[in-house]
């Protein structure tokens, strides 16, 4: 006995089957993965790694360049600001005044003219220990300007002071005591 089967497929079922086949990518119809899949995967991963490495290097270069520009800007600003404030050679060293007293006190004063007056750096030695001292600038027209003060101790002392007078008007610089008596004068 032979059996025969007859299969009937409606047109709607064929349309559904066609629609399902259209949704699948062409790779799904292949039997197994493509033969060069490992090579393709390795190439893709290598490309991704190289692009990431280049991006990291590019960021590093940008960071280094930015840091260099910031440091250069800070240094340039410091030099400009320093020149504007009288630092770095914009002052004129006018004179080195020296003097010795009969009691053996010695003084040397570096007088430097600045935009606002004088800068004085005095080195004094031989003052009596504990003596209250004032550094005084004398002008040619008889005026006096106090440029600094300190209490003497045994040994040499160096101090900085300033006075609002022009270097050309200075007649001398003295160290005076509490009674305004000169202890040593440099001219």
Nearest to 159 by CA among 113, 183, 130, 125: 125
Q: CA 167 from chain center: how many Å?
A: 35
pTM, entire model: 0.51
In whole angstroms, give the CA distance from residue 23 to residue 19: 7
User: What is the share, in percent, of the chain residues with pLDDT greater than 90?
Assistant: 23
CATH entry 2.60.40 includes domain 92-186: yes
What digits encode the pLDDT tens for the residues 96-112?
Answer: 899 998 988 899 999 98
SS3 state of residue 64:
helix
Q: CA 101 from chain center: how many Å?
A: 48
Q: Which two tokens stand for residue 86?
A: 């009288």
Mean pLDDT of the chain: 81
What digits encode the pLDDT tens for the residues 114-137?
Answer: 888 889 999 999 888 888 999 999
**Among 79-93, 96-110, 132-146, the least confident range:** 79-93
What digits encode the pLDDT tens for the residues 9-59?
Answer: 666 666 666 666 666 666 666 666 666 667 777 888 888 889 888 988 888
The continuous run of DSSP H or E covering 92 comes out as strand 92-100
Of 37 and 150, the one with more pLDDT: 150
């Amino acid at each position: 006995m032979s059996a025969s089967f007859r299969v009937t497929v409606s047109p709607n079922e064929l349309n559904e089957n066609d629609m399902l086949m259209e949704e699948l990518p062409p790779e799904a119809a292949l039997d197994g993965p493509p033969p060069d899949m490992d090579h393709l995967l390795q190439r893709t991963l290598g490309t991704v790694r190289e692009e990431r490495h280049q991006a990291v290097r590019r960021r590093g270069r940008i960071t280094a360049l930015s840091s260099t520009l910031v440091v250069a800007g800070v240094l340039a600003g410091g030099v400009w600001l320093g020149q504007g404030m009288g630092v770095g050679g914009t002052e004129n060293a006018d004179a080195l005044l020296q003097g010795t007293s009969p009691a053996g006190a010695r003084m040397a004063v570096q007088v430097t003219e600045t935009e606002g007056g004088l800068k004085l750096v005095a080195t004094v030695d031989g003052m009596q220990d504990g003596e209250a001292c004032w550094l005084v600038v004398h002008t040619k027209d008889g005026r006096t300007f106090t440029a600094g003060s300190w209490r003497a101790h045994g040994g040499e002392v160096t101090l900085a002071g300033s006075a609002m007078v022009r270097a050309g008007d200075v007649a001398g610089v003295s160290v005076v005591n509490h009674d305004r008596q000169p202890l040593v004068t440099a001219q």
